[in-house]
Amino acid sequence: MDQAPGAHAGATTAPLDLQDHLARLEAAGLLTRISRPIDKDSELHPLARWQFQGGLSEEQRTGFLFTDVHGAAGERYDIPVAVNVLAANPAIYAIGLGISEDRIGEAWVRAMAHPITPVLVDDAPCQEVVLEGDALTVPGGGLATLPIPISTPGFDSAPYLTATLVTTVDPETGVRNMGTYRAALKAQDRMGVRMASRLGGAGGYQHWLKYKKLGQKMPVAIVVGCAPAVLFCGPQKLEIDQDELAVAGGLIGTAIRTVRCKTVPLEVPADAEIVIEGWIDTEMLEPEGPFGESHGHVALEDYNMSMQVTAITRKAKPVFVSIVSQVTPSESSVLKRVAYEPLYLEHLKQALNIKGIKRVVMHEALTNLRPVIFLQFDRSAPQTEIWRGMQGASTLQAQCGKIIIAVSEDIDARNADAVFWSLAYRASMIDDLHVVPHRAPSHGPKSGKRAQDGTLMIDATLKHDMPPLALPAERFMTRAKAIWEELQLPRLTPQPPWHGVSLGDWSDSWQKMADHAVAGDWRSVGADTYARRHAAEFKPETPVRDIEGKKK
């Protein structure tokens, strides 16, 4: 493995475990402590969910730390539960890497190019407490000691682990994989684990196929709570032979400490909060679900993997971490978006050398990033580059890019209303639309599924100059905003476009008319147009330049 330039042990500014991260969030005013008793089975996730469904801006979201957690049957837990602490917003994600928000994309590109090999240690905080044997099955023991929440009360079949790093090893190559897969409680020493088997799905599933072929059970260790940089690698969809722990080291500029598990031949982050060890059956599958999935629908029962737990190890005083997922926006979608978007932009710019590409936006609200992608281009981009960019974005990952829409740089691609405006006035549904068939079905509900899908690409960029956007010019809107605030009217949250802007079809003479108008000199404009009257030889609404142009 390479080492990132200038990186060495101890050089990192990133938190090296979850509790260090929580302390940094609190210092930054991004952690809300909740000491009121909270039921993990019916109250905890709904409360955290209101940050995404309650009309709050992204900047207003914080992490939550629940310090008085109980269960529906009266169980009491001495382990706090943290939710929204990984990616409720990009600022929280950036604190997890010890960098500013604008450097997130750069950090990922560097980390994948310069991974740092983990370092093995003998003693680890994650093994201060070890539960094995009878301690897993006694009443209230094993998994029942952990305050595992129900994510979608009213629909989920069980409490689920969500903020996981599920560690497996390729039995042929020894390459490790760490993926973020859901795991349902089935018994105090058994879980149902879902690893995506679709095209572009889970690396752990590929390992499972190899163990199945060998007729062996698959060793597995599920990490719950660790340095954010480590957990961020789980949902990132790295190359299947790329060690996530080495990439995590590259993210923070120093090697991740690992320790050997107690009961399975695997290594896990030494500074993790909780580790669940065990074996996954390769001969028998067990029904798992329903569970509220990140595609925004409830995933119904599927046959999935059955894991027999052989040990639970943890810190003496751990924090349990969970992720808010389901309907987007969510913590899960922010976790992906802040890393996926710069990586897509880097791919288009560097790997494909697309000219004029400025920004990649993966639509988040309800659609969960994957199906709908907007590409922003500058006005100089040739149409050939626009189409190459859309094709590149639709094929980079199998699960992403069912609908690709290209827009010009004046369109805020984060604003779906602005994108629809661009579609309405800048795209011809004859010339600017292309459908590519034979796309594999993507991440989504299985009810009434189809054997295959397609890719829709639309060029909604400016093809020619257009009149200005009909809003007051920026200087007038800015001055009015200052008056608004002086009057202490309700707080404004401007959404682009919030002022008029020229789109090319605008002459100096028209600008002079507008300048005269705001100066109160509208009479001079009228005098000018009176002098330019013309005989009514054509119908009203005939453009002036069509007539005056003929005179020249």
pLDDT at 199: 67
**pLDDT at 428 > cutoff 60:** yes
Question: 10 pLDDT band (50/70/90 cuts)?
Answer: very low
Does the predicted model carry a pTM greater than 0.85? yes
**Token reading at 89:** 């917003």
Which amino acid is present at 500?
G
Please answer whether residues 473 and 418 qualify as being in contact, where contact means their C-beta atoms are separated by less than 8 angstroms: no
**Token reading at 160:** 């689920």
**pLDDT at 328 > cutoff 60:** yes
**pLDDT at 9 > cutoff 50:** no
Whether the CA torsion 106, 110, 112, 116 is positive or negative: it is negative
**Token reading at 34:** 């909740």
Please answer whether residues 364 and 400 qualify as being in contact, where contact means their C-beta atoms are separated by less than 8 angstroms: no
Residues in contact with 85: Cβ distance below 8 Å, sequence separation at least 6, in sequence order: 18, 21, 22, 25, 31, 63, 64, 65, 92, 321
| pLDDT more than 90, % of the chain | 79
CATH number given to 352-459:
3.40.1670.10
pLDDT at 7: 36
Could you read off the pLDDT of 132-158 as tens digits, one per residue? 999 999 999 999 999 999 999 999 999
**pLDDT at 439 > cutoff 70:** yes
What is the C-alpha to C-alpha distance for residues 206 and 446, in angstroms, rounded to an integer? 21
Whether the CA torsion 60, 62, 66, 72 is positive or negative: it is positive
What is the C-alpha to C-alpha distance for residues 330 and 187, in angstroms, rounded to an integer? 29
Please answer whether residues 253 and 11 qualify as being in contact, where contact means their C-beta atoms are separated by less than 8 angstroms: yes
Q: Mean pLDDT highest for which of 19-23, 368-372, 486-490?
A: 19-23
Question: 239 pLDDT band (50/70/90 cuts)?
Answer: confident
The domain locations on the chain are 18-322, 352-459, 474-551
Question: 88 pLDDT band (50/70/90 cuts)?
Answer: very high
Please answer whether residues 171 and 211 qualify as being in contact, where contact means their C-beta atoms are separated by less than 8 angstroms: yes
pLDDT at 500: 92
Could you read off the pLDDT of 246-262 as tens digits, one per residue? 999 999 999 999 999 99
Please answer whether residues 152 and 326 qualify as being in contact, where contact means their C-beta atoms are separated by less than 8 angstroms: yes
Question: 211 pLDDT band (50/70/90 cuts)?
Answer: very high
Question: 315 pLDDT band (50/70/90 cuts)?
Answer: very high
Could you read off the pLDDT of 444-477 as tens digits, one per residue? 677 776 678 899 999 999 999 999 989 999 999 9
Q: Mean pLDDT highest for which of 28-42, 333-347, 390-404, 529-543?
A: 28-42
What is the C-alpha to C-alpha distance for residues 240 and 238, in angstroms, rounded to an integer? 6
Please answer whether residues 462 and 408 qualify as being in contact, where contact means their C-beta atoms are separated by less than 8 angstroms: yes
Could you read off the pLDDT of 227-236 as tens digits, one per residue? 999 999 988 7
CATH architecture assignment, domain 18-322: Roll (2.30)
Mean pLDDT of the chain: 92
**pLDDT at 373 > cutoff 80:** yes
Q: Write the DSSP symbol of residue 347.
A: I
Please answer whether residues 457 and 492 qualify as being in contact, where contact means their C-beta atoms are separated by less than 8 angstroms: no
pLDDT at 549: 78
Judge residue 27's burial from the number of C-beta atoms within 10 Å of its C-beta, 0-12 exposed, 13-18 middle, 19 or more buried: exposed
Please answer whether residues 278 and 184 qualify as being in contact, where contact means their C-beta atoms are separated by less than 8 angstroms: no
Question: 495 pLDDT band (50/70/90 cuts)?
Answer: confident
